[in-house]
Structure 1
């Protein structure tokens, strides 16, 4: 049996195929301005690359902020449930998940069976999300993919006091004008994110092991900042960005 999970986020759209309980194939594309088209495109691309046709897919579950635009899915399920399922698939020992995506962040505590026990999320403000980092990268004229490695070279992280994307950008521009080094500004941005997300996660009482999921997990600077702020080691799978899609594909097995 082959099932598919499609996770349409605000920045990227992801798809995963599960065959008989094992990960078969994955695909990531840029969402762009049309979530519906992104869902259809990632669906077509993963099937083509896997050499499959739609009739071979037993079930499809959509998740992510654009999940309701995936009209051909059999069901849509929240990111919280799907990231929990995906994290449990990647490492059954995981008891907490921190997911930082394009437009929100979540902390999830799992029970011994890998089911959601409790969660907290920030979906009212873009601060501390992928979009926030993109805005900061543009202000600093630095490739977002280099943010993590650059921040690790900082010797005196700058203080970013504002948690608002707009005001934080103004702070960054002011720091640039004062001659502050980019590496210290970037490290300060990561510390700000770490503090914000750790405070949210702390209300749940994170249990170890902790796994970080979502696209921001590729940023080693944010991961390190979170480890410091939470006081816990954080596991990052090479499939971190695809965790939601994997979880959705697993959920599709029950349709």
Structure 2
């Protein structure tokens, strides 16, 4: 059985093909059209893997752009897909934190991967990938460089979590001669505090599972560990956890149809 999960986010589109026990995936920028990004990334992965479209038993979409995907069999919320994908990658329950381009999520799941509760920040850019993009632009660096630049540095205080005011703070610190690397470390700490402030409503956690594109930033992972007071685990393919969860839902749906 072959199933597909398509996760269309605001910044990137992730597609996973589940081919028996093998996970094949592809990540591409979403761009201006969620529908086109989802379809073209899906078709590109099929071509790369030499898999005819008619051999895909079921397709499930997730992410903010899921409603634009006219070629899928079903749409499932990213909350449930991220929990399902994270559980599959690590085989245990716990607290999942996902920082995406436009929102951040904290998802409490049981040992079977079932969602028990969740919290979500989707009204403000603070604590999201978009916030990091704006800060990186103000500092004149690429967002992919932030983690390495901040490694081992002493964080400076970034007091505002409003993107506009935080950008002004960063510019002011630069004007005063502050080290760019210490500013970045401060930005990371402010993001971790904002996200953990949302997630802490669930109480102490033995382990946090960090998913999404921002999870590739090791310094944010380390800052999040300090805020949470526990181990933060980043699965090897953390960025595609949502798409993987969608593909797993597709497998379940295809099984029911047989």
**Superposition TM-score, scaled by structure 2 size:** 0.96
Mapped partners of 1:94, 1:144: distance in 2: 31
For the residue of structure 1 that corresponds to 2:70, the secondary structure is coil
Which residue pairs with 1:112 in the alignment? 111
For the residue of structure 2 that corresponds to 1:173, the secondary structure is helix
1:97 shift after superposition: 0.4
- Equivalences, count: 253
Mapped partners of 1:24, 1:130: distance in 2: 25
1:188 shift after superposition: 0.3
Instruction: Answer whether contact 2:132 2:143 (CA < 8 A) is retained.
Output: yes
Alignment of 1:33-112 (within 5 A): 33-112=32-111
Mapped partners of 1:205, 1:82: distance in 2: 23
Instruction: Answer whether contact 1:109 1:206 (CA < 8 A) is retained.
Output: no
Alignment of 1:236-251 (within 5 A): 236-251=234-249
1:254 shift after superposition: 2.2
Instruction: Answer whether contact 2:79 2:107 (CA < 8 A) is retained.
Output: yes
Q: Gapped runs of 5+ residues in structure 2? A: 254-258
Deviation string, structure 1 residues 137-170 (Cα, Å, up to 9, x no partner): 111011211111111131x311111111111111
Which residue pairs with 2:211 in the alignment? 213
Which residue pairs with 2:179 in the alignment? 181
Mapped partners of 2:129, 2:251: distance in 1: 30
Instruction: Answer whether contact 1:209 1:233 (CA < 8 A) is retained.
Output: yes
For the residue of structure 2 that corresponds to 1:203, the secondary structure is helix
- Output the aligned Cα RMSD: 1.0
1:24 shift after superposition: 3.1
Deviation string, structure 1 residues 172-203 (Cα, Å, up to 9, x no partner): 11111111101110000000001100111000
Which residue pairs with 1:4 in the alignment? 4
1:228 shift after superposition: 0.4
Mapped partners of 1:24, 1:180: distance in 2: 45
Instruction: Answer whether contact 2:205 2:228 (CA < 8 A) is retained.
Output: no
Mapped partners of 1:124, 1:143: distance in 2: 25
Q: Gapped runs of 5+ residues in structure 1? A: none
Mapped partners of 1:17, 1:183: distance in 2: 39
Mapped partners of 1:70, 1:23: distance in 2: 24
**Superposition TM-score, scaled by structure 1 size:** 0.97
Alignment of 1:92-241 (within 5 A): 92-154=91-153, 156-241=154-239
1:206 shift after superposition: 4.8
For the residue of structure 1 that corresponds to 2:28, the secondary structure is strand
Deviation string, structure 1 residues 213-234 (Cα, Å, up to 9, x no partner): 0000000111011000111110
Deviation string, structure 1 residues 80-107 (Cα, Å, up to 9, x no partner): 1000000011011241100001110011
Instruction: Answer whether contact 1:10 1:31 (CA < 8 A) is retained.
Output: yes
